[in-house]
Amino acid sequence: MTDTDELVARDAAAFFHQQGSSPCVSALQAAQGIWLEDASGRRFIDLHGNTVHHLGHGHREIVAALKRQLDDLAFTPRRFTNEPAVALAEALRARWPGAPARVLFATGGSDAIEIALKLARVATGRHETISLEGSYHGHGFGAFGLSSAMPDPRLGAFLPGRHHVTPYWAGEEGPARMLEEVGELLATGRIAALIAEPMRSNCHVPPADLWPRIRALCDAAGARLIFDEIPSGLGKTGRFFAFEHFGATPDMVVLGKALGGGMVPIAAVIADARLNIAPELELGHYTHEKNPLTTRAALTLLEIIARDDLVARAGAAGRQLKDGVAAIAARVPAVSGARGLGLLLAVAFDAQRCGQPPGPGFAAHLVASAFAHGLSTTAKGDGAIGLSLPLTVTDAEIDEVLARVEAMGRAL
């Protein structure tokens, strides 16, 4: 048994088993840039990274900033503030393209989603929600219930008043059906908020007019529009906020994952300052709400993104990857092409040309094949894998990724 096998076996014996994480596929001993290294010394290019690796793994400046902050101030009890927390809030407000905004922090995206839901309820006096069937917004009982109309019945009841509509990516009629269903639900006058990812992290790009039309419908009905940018924000799509591609500014946006520099957990809600109407409520009462360590990591991340013009780099690198995959598709029948924006991409494969039936089994086959070619990734639907790389990726690293994708396609 290798060191990796032994550690994976110990993990499987110690943790509750759950889909997607336990048992694990391998064990890591190092992560740097785009590379993962397992306990046996095998290296993989990380095309997934749980979308936290905007600056790559182990960015030296983030590490240095965290070490300095540990020496200066590692924790602030609630009712006290600190410089990095305030500076981070100010930096996020400065990035906001809408009306003046305010901020709340949380330790994870699911918690931040639920803060946004509370703000919408307070602002509207309503409690019902609209979300897209098959979306993902976290695993709290409020957030997880937004993802599917029919979660596993063993989990029991979720929040009442949840409505799920046809998502825009559900075939050619998806956008029209989504608009129709949203309009009907908003007309009831019971909806506090519509919550969605502006571009689902399965990398299907919505029609250009979809979100402006949804924005208008929400305005007419007095409902709030919440965008979940936990996977897509902070420059990943070639704009700082993904919604900036689509001509609709929400009332609230939720950030997370990469906000902690790929090292510490922090999430944020940025919302219209006019929602600051319930100071007597505990809307986001978290022990680490203004943690100086996590906020320092996030503040340093924002400084590096701005200094190195990494939002523009994401757009350019994404075009380079999509062009490269298109060239591969012209040579390799198994590869269909790439979809998405910036560096939030997916590579699609043709199941029939791979001699496989389409469906979840084909998706699992693709992920396993990628792993065999030194690419760590996840499925993006039944016929695609994620192609998510850091904003710091180099041209030489892009060439290496494309070479491995081509080798994988030829082997399918």
Residue 171, burial from CB neighbour count under 10 angstroms (0-12, 13-18, 19+): exposed
Query: What's the rounded Cα separation, in Å, for the pair 93 and 102?
Result: 7
Question: Which amino acid does the sequence have at 193?
Answer: A
Q: Are 221 and 196 in contact (CB under 8 A)?
A: no
Nearest to 344 by CA among 370, 318, 313: 318
Q: Which residue has the tokens 């290296």?
A: 43
Backbone angles phi, psi at 39, to 5 degrees: -65, -10
Whole-angstrom distance between the N-terminal and C-terminal Cα of the chain?
A: 29
User: What are the Cα distances from residue 215, in Å, to 41, 63, 229?
Assistant: 50, 40, 16
Residue 338, burial from CB neighbour count under 10 angstroms (0-12, 13-18, 19+): buried
Catalytic residue among 44, 96, 105, 136: 136
Q: Are 389 and 34 in contact (CB under 8 A)?
A: yes
136 in active site: yes
Catalytic residues: 136
